[in-house]
Structure 1
Amino acid sequence: MNEQNAGGVRQRSVEIVVPVYNEAHVLADSIGRLHAYLEASFPFPFRITVADNASTDATWQTAIGLTHRLPHVHAVHLDAKGRGRALKHVWSQSTADVVAYMDVDLSTGLEGFLPLVAPLLSGHSDVAIGSRLHRQSAVERGPKREFISRSYNLLLKAGLAARFSDAQCGFKAVRTDVFRALAPHIEDNAWFFDTELLVLAQRNRLRIHEVPVDWVDDPDSRVDIVRTAVDDLKGMGRMLRATLTGRTGIAAVPRRGSAPQVPATRKTAEVTPVQAADASTSSRSDHLEYAS
């Protein structure tokens, strides 16, 4: 993934994670569309990693099949649910300069991806988020989801002095070296992971870049709105206490202009598609499986 240009200079690269849970019915189409779009128009080396969060349907087998057919697609299986858990695992071990994620439904227009990651690749910013609440965004969703989203972000502004506009949009990116410094301080492994990442970034004076997006609501969304709202309120209370006690300051956060520190290889061994296919039919006693 870390390729060199004609002059022998290593090109900056991006790893895009797509967390999934029981998405076998849409996975092949969505990853196929994403892969085709990036191959045709994205000017940097990239990897797409499907992160299977303990699916009980054919998601893992479908993901393995995609690694056979599409050269830039990899897959990882975790035995526990949680979007934040999947992102923390893959992002922490990535060899790319920038790590990103998007939802499998591709609700966010893909033309927004390069504007999302470009400021991170150039060193201008540290974290980037798609914002459905930006005045230039074009959003199609029901009034209930719109009300909940706006109310949540207003609570973040009032309770945590958030200066970012949309904490929960499933379209984010971060410099890999910055994420490694923040990751040990992120406690949530589910939906509040995004908010916690952004609050820590803001508290440590990192630059958060916002991109207006075109976004179409997914009617098949699996999010439990009530449970997620309760967990988010608990998370906000925890972050407020951490802020008041000074526990959100992180001394080791890299600053813009510093050379990104990425490992030469993943800590988790990668396996061939054939090995991964064999592993998928086993009892899955290991914590995770990886297909590349």
Structure 2
Amino acid sequence: MMMQRANLLVPVAIEATLQSQPQRGMATLKAISIRLKSVKNIQKITQSMKMVSAAKYSRAERDLKAARPYGIGAQQFFEKTEIQSDEKAEPKKLLIAMTSDRGLCGAVHTGVARHIRNELAATGDANTKIFCVGDKSRSILARTFGKNILMVANEVGRLPPTFLDASKIAHEVLKTGYDFTEGQIIYNKFKSVVSYQLSTLPVFSAPTVEKSEKLALYDSLDSDIIQSYLEYSLASLIFFTMKEGACSEQSSRMTAMDNASKNAGEMIEKLTLTFNRTRQAVITRELIEIISGAAALN
């Protein structure tokens, strides 16, 4: 009885298998074809983004050459006067993260956020505030250090930065009401089309600058003049670092899109090979079934 039941089930199982194999093969071919088409579309997008980034990079590099004197001139004042924070006073630190609102540019933004996280972990976050220039740094740092974020400047990176944008950011930094004793601007310094370096620039408040012993090198400096110059120098440093960051971002995005296009090309080759092999297997299986059926009829 058991053997009879098994004999009855064997042809049914074989027939079901033969019916399901072509269906599985067709489904596999359809799935591979859809995926292949999707990867080809992604490759077109990444190639277009690479071309756009290349054009923006050329403009950003030209603008950076014109903006570097602003940053060099502003740094000279702090270097010549040898300004240092007051060790007796309670330290209050301000970290300015120079990023943008746009992604798909490698580790440009995450490197800045990582440096700030390490700084807060080493020195403590009790008397340290963060001013985020760009929404990318805010989205990364808000998870663990949301209470330390003082303010966020949005709409950065969609258009090339201007000195007016830097002046607005500098005005907001000085008008936040946070009386910091020292600060840092964390940004990406452009080196070449394939490399950039994470760098920092010091920033000091007006009371800290007035206590410098070498400030007497400059004649006729009162509190109003120092305050006005600090506002201008901060705007110059922010403008300089925004240009450095924009150039680094565009070059990194161009490299990232080039790598993405190459990876998509490799995936297209593998999927095409898999598609051809699967189609050949389906054709071979169908021919075997036709020949077997013809032989059975004879």
Q: Which TM-score band applies after superposition, normalised by the shorter structure?
A: 0.3 to 0.5
Task: Indicate the structure (1 or 2) with the bigger Cα radius of gyration.
Answer: 2
Instruction: Using structure 2 for the length normalisation, give the TM-score.
Output: 0.32
Higher helix share: 2
TM-score, normalised to structure 1, is: 0.32
> Which is strand-richer, 1 or 2?
1
Between the two structures, name the one with larger relative contact order (CA 8 Å, sep ≥ 6): 2
